[in-house]
Amino acid sequence: MYDSRQRSLFDISVDSHRTTFSGHESFPLRYTWLYKGVTNCSKNPEVFNQEDAIAVLGVGKNMVRSIRYWCLATRMLEEVASQKNSRAKHLQPSEIGSAIFLGKKAWDPYLEDIGTLWLIHYLLVTNSERATTWFFAFNHVHYAEFSKNSLENALVDFLSSRKLSVPSRNTLKRDIDVLVRTYIPGKTSGKLSIEDAYDCPLIELDLLRPSYEEGTYSFSRGNQENLPNSIFAFALAEFIKNQAQGRKTVTFDEIAYAPYSPGKVFKLNEVSLSERLEEMGELTRGAWAYGETAGLKQLYINDDLDPFALLEAHYLQTAHVG
């Protein structure tokens, strides 16, 4: 186990200059894909490049590439140097990917726990480098409703303002279409294969809905009743380590509205967020305390917490760990 005082699970930075708008081959994530990707990569780091990848993974050629993309976008797999001081890289299961999918005590290999879906959502929408459109939509879109076209224009402005490379409009349109289908069920057709017909598991979170006006969508901001407090605490611990940078207090507004914050990525309303923060003292055994001083609501950080340990505690309380 790493020293929680030294680093968080993921090095996330608002100022990253790497972006990705392709790789999913226009397929949303499927239920079995992360399991297939992590378990097979653990046996063979080159599985996605092998001629028999189609047979091993049981999907079409384009879907092989899509599985690789989604495993990286959700941080279940990671790229590491093949050799010391070498630019060549290979894939391997990440610490969290291994914990969820590998071994007799795998946390939740078949995604039976709704908390795992919230966790995957968090890992996806905070991955600004490999899932840039998802990151932008959940961290930087502030209006109540949007269309695919308005989201595309806003994303172009966002990239341009930060002097980041802007991909072609067709590429952005495909990316935004997959974003929508990540959270909203697609139209069924009798011509679809079994694999094609599966909706993305993140649809269960009900985070994005069609609006009353055709062709528009809105985020479902609310109390998110099925979001476990332990998953919320994990996201908050990651936010504190990456964004608070050693401070002993974090304001309510930061936790509610800053990029990468739990309030922002989980679309929590202010009342629900306050209630969850009030429960953190008991959950963390006093490591965190929420209060108000001179009209300023903030979270007091009395001790460092290990984000991974917060996740581990969640799964030890479920039936998914033997």
For 289-308, how does the pLDDT look when each residue is reduced to its tens digit (9 = 90+)? Answer: 999 888 899 999 999 899 99
pLDDT value, residue 83: 60
β partners of residue 3:
none
Structure tokens at 99: 């914990």
What would the pLDDT profile of 198-238 be if each residue is shown by its tens digit? Answer: 689 999 999 999 988 888 999 999 999 999 999 999 999 99
What would the pLDDT profile of 56-93 be if each residue is shown by its tens digit? Answer: 999 999 999 999 999 999 999 999 876 665 566 789 99
CATH H-level, domain 229-316: superfamily: DNA replication factor Cdt1, C-terminal WH domain (1.10.10.1420)
pTM (two decimals):
0.90
What would the pLDDT profile of 159-180 be if each residue is shown by its tens digit? Answer: 999 999 999 999 999 999 999 9
pLDDT value, residue 1: 28
Cα 130 to the center of its chain, rounded Å: 11
Is residue 302 within 8 Å of 286, Cβ to Cβ? Answer: yes
CA distances from 159 to 19, 112, 132, 136, 263 (A): 9, 37, 10, 10, 23
pLDDT value, residue 317: 85
Q: Could you tell me which residue, 234 or 195, shows the higher pLDDT? A: 234
DSSP 82: S
| % residues pLDDT > 70 (the chain) | 88
Q: In the predicted model, is pLDDT for residue 322 greater than 50?
A: no
The domain segmentation of the chain, as residue ranges, is: 33-219, 229-316
Top mean-pLDDT range of 42-46, 101-105, 121-125:
121-125
Query: Average pLDDT over the chain, rounded to whole?
Result: 88
| % residues pLDDT > 90 (the chain) | 77
Among 10-19, 28-37, 131-140, 271-280, where is mean pLDDT lowest? 10-19
pLDDT value, residue 200: 94
Burial of 276 (C-beta count, 10 Å sphere; 0-12/13-18/19+): buried
